[in-house]
Amino acid sequence: MRLLPDNPSISWTPYAYLIYLVPFLAQPVLGTATLVSQALTALGLLVFLGLYFWGWWLDDLRKLLPITGIAMLGVAFAAHNFGAGVFFVYASAFAGELVPTRRAWTAIGLLSGLVGLTAGLLQRNPMFWVPTLVLTPLIGGLCLHERTIRSANAQLRLSRQEVQRLAQVAERERIARDLHDLLGHTLSTITLKAALAARLAERDPERAAEEMQEVERISRQATQEVRGAVSGFRKRSLADELASARTTLDAAGVTLEVVGDLPSLAPLEEAVLALALREAVTNVVRHAQARTCKVVFAVDSENLRVEVVDDGRGAHGPEGSGLLGMRERLASLDGRLQRITDAGTRLIIRMPHGETSNARP
């Protein structure tokens, strides 16, 4: 059986607070109190200790029970023991734990008023009413302040835990988006080249061997990219991505045309745009059944526009996870994506560029 709850915020300190019982015990021990008075003091002490330790287990309005009981002990012993004022202080300390704050201040105020009434009717000795009238609101207010700080710290810990949880969720979503884009593109390229090698195996073995060597190279590159995606580091440039796109489109029999010069971008912008280009090319290879694909770069002093246009059958279904991931990445740079599917598919990427760019990692 434990006298106190297992609460690290209070630990052993409630035992130390019992030192304030000394004034209540001093008068009958050191004075000329009768045996009956001493017995009543001992009984009052036992009742107080029961209420006191019980109070540490209670929350909310239930704490009013030990508060009331301890305050009544103060009233009961006030006429014969000027040290009984400590009971009002203990009751006020518990009152400071009440929530909300208005309820705590109300209880502290009522206890202070009860001290004044008791002093006027039962105990006029300054040794009783002076320290009690000072300490009752003071200790109650300090306990209320301490409770407020504990509550704020608890909220702060919960907020930190939530931030950590959201960061973990965001990191998992980032890895999922990157792996989707990386592996989707790479596996499509490997599939096309493996199929091409199979067709060439009999009539052009040397060319088939070259294609399989290319498959091996792409596989090794994919391994490095997956490791980079998991670790959060990608150094693949937009130029590299265009070269990879040309290889993939060539294997699918799609002609790539690049219009405009590659823009000079910040690392974060380049990484987002490279992944967007990869996803767009992957969709052309997988779904468009196109013959040509055009990538257009247009830059002015404030904005960057990139278009990926194919002459395929167009897309009429809902957007998949790849396009949704593309939109999320662009949104982190205040960018946006527009999809037009009237004749073929046209993806238009717009994002701030230059001094007005507001990239958020």
On whether the CB atoms of residues 247 and 190 are closer than 8 A, the answer is: no
What are 239's two structure tokens? 């130029």
Residue 320 or 32, more confident: 320
Task: Flag whether the pTM goes above 0.85.
Answer: no
Only one residue has tokens 């130390």, namely: 16
Closest residue by Cα to residue 15 from 49, 59, 47, 45: 49
Sheet of 303-310: strands edge to edge? Answer: 255-259, 292-299, 303-310, 345-352, 336-340
Q: How confident is the model at residue 76 (pLDDT cuts 50, 70, 90)?
A: very high
pLDDT given at position 182:
67
71-107 core/surface letters (b: 16 or more CB in 10 A; e: else):
bebbbbbbeebbbbbbbbbbbbbbbbbbeeeeebbeb
pLDDT given at position 111:
96
- As a whole-number percent, the residues of the chain with pLDDT over 70 amount to 91
> What average pLDDT does range 16-44 have in this prediction?
85
pLDDT digits (tens, 9 = 90+) for 96-111: 999 999 999 999 999 9
What are 123's two structure tokens? 């105990």
pLDDT digits (tens, 9 = 90+) for 167-208: 777 767 777 777 776 677 677 778 887 888 888 888 888 888
